[in-house]
Amino acid sequence: MAVIHRTALTPTKLELLTSWLPSRPWYAGGAGAPELAKSGGFRLDDPQGEVGIEFMVVTDTSGADPTAYLVPLTYRGAPLDGAEHALVGIMEHGVLGRRWAYDGCHDPVAVAQLFALVEGRVQAQDQNASDTPDRDVTCSHTGEGLISADLAVTATDDREGTALAVPSGAALRLHRVLRPAQDAPPSLPQAATGHISGSWSPPSGPRARGLFAVVHNGS
C-alpha cells in the first residue's frame, strides 16, 4: 500500500497543473490561466511500491461555469525514459526529495493498474489516507480481459478526452472533462462494456457523481 506523506511540495500539484492544463487538447477553458481547486480523486497502488499513482479531480473556476477535470498523475523518483512529452513538471517533496510528475495516461505503471481496476483485480485507494480503500469508486466490466503483459497500450488525446487502446481494438476512454450524471448510478453508453465512476466536490454546490472512464471492446 502507498504511504501518504503529510509534507510540502514545491511547486504544488495545483501550480504545476495551472501551467500544464491549457496545453491539453481537451482543455475547455479560455485564454486566461485556470484557477484550480482540488475537488477529489483516488489513488492506485504500484505493486512494486516505486511509483505514486493519483487520479486527481480539479475544478477550474476561472470561467462563467466551473469545469471539473480528471487528471491522472504519476510521481517518480527519476525520469521515465521516453516520456518527455508526458512530463507535467518536477517537484521537491519534503520527504522523498525530487519527484517527476507525469500524465498517468502515458505511464505504463499507471495504465496497467487502471486496466486492473476496471477488471476488478485491484481496488481504488483513498486519496488522502494510507491503507484505506475508496469504496466510492465503482467499476464494472463484462467479457474477456482487456490487457496482458505483452500487449502495448496506445494513449491518444483528443478534444473529448484520452483513449487507451490495445491491439485487439478494445479501448478505455477517460473523460477528462467531468459532467455530473443525471442518473444514480450513471447510465452507460449503449456499446459500453465497462466503466469507472466516482464523485467529486465542486467549490460550490452539492457533491457530484459521474463517469470517469468507459470501456469499449473491439469487434
Under DSSP, the state recorded for 204 is S
Q: Distances from the Cα of 161 to the Cαs of 23, 69, 120, 176, in angstroms? A: 13, 10, 23, 5
* Burial annotation 112-130 (CB, 10 A radius, 16+ → b, else e): bbbbbbbbeebebbbbeee
The verdict on whether omega for the bond into residue 185 sits within 30 degrees of 0, i.e. cis, is yes
The number of beta carbons lying within 10 Å of the beta carbon of residue 2 is: 18
Residue boundaries of the structural domains of the chain: 9-216
pLDDT tens digits for 171-200? 899 999 999 987 666 777 777 888 999 999
The verdict on whether omega for the bond into residue 11 sits within 30 degrees of 0, i.e. cis, is yes
pLDDT tens digits for 53-87? 999 999 999 988 899 999 999 999 999 999 999 99
* Burial annotation 197-219 (CB, 10 A radius, 16+ → b, else e): bbbbbbeeeeebbbbbbbbbbee
Element spanning 185, H or E = none
* Burial annotation 20-33 (CB, 10 A radius, 16+ → b, else e): bbeebebbebeeee
Please check the confidence at residue 164 and state whether its pLDDT lies above 60: yes
Please check the confidence at residue 144 and state whether its pLDDT lies above 70: no
